[in-house]
Amino acid sequence: MSIVKDTFLTYRAPRKTIKSIITSSGESQALLFLILGSILHFFGSIPFLIKSSGDVALTVFLSANFIGVVILAPLIFYFFAVLGKLGAVVIGWKISWMHSRIALFWALYVVFPLTMVRGLLSYAPKTYDETLQVVLSFTIFAIFLFYWFVGMNEANKLKVGA
């Protein structure tokens, strides 16, 4: 299936789609999910970043955020994939290192449409702006954690191990 179709199928049937992604993806596709997810999250956040740049020059502000989201964040996500794998081992799950990465990176990638919606809604009326952004950010984070857990659970069901 195509990555766009899989993205929207994940919202409709998360367990089935994530299991398909985990079983059919390799290391190169995991890296694709991570890089593409990081870039799309950056572009989805641009309206929010423009609005919150304040007195800082916009090019400097966007450049710094680009470096943080697209260059540094993938390194941090590899670290979180290791923590996820170790957490799974602690609770008795047998998940391969690659499946741990795929579950995390797919969860990051698949929530990018919500980040884009959050960016567009950053131009909501002033009375709702901050509250709306906080609520949307927590909601996106909760959905991200849900998809990561579903991915780890589906990887555990494969019983691949180590």
* pLDDT the model gives residue 49: 82
Interval 141-156: pLDDT, tens: 999 999 999 999 999 9
Over the chain, what is the mean pLDDT?
88
Which comes out higher in pLDDT, residue 28 or 132? Answer: 28
DSSP codes of every residue in 19-75? HHHHHH--HHHHHHHHHHHHHHHHHHHHHHHHHH-TTS-HHHHHHHHHIIIIIIHHH
* pLDDT the model gives residue 162: 47
Confidence of residue 138 (pLDDT cuts 50, 70, 90): very high
Interval 59-118: pLDDT, tens: 888 899 999 998 899 999 999 999 999 999 999 999 999 999 999 999 999 999 999 888
d(CA 162, CA 156): 11
State whether residue 86 is helix, strand or coil. Answer: helix
User: Where are the chain's structural domains?
Assistant: 3-158
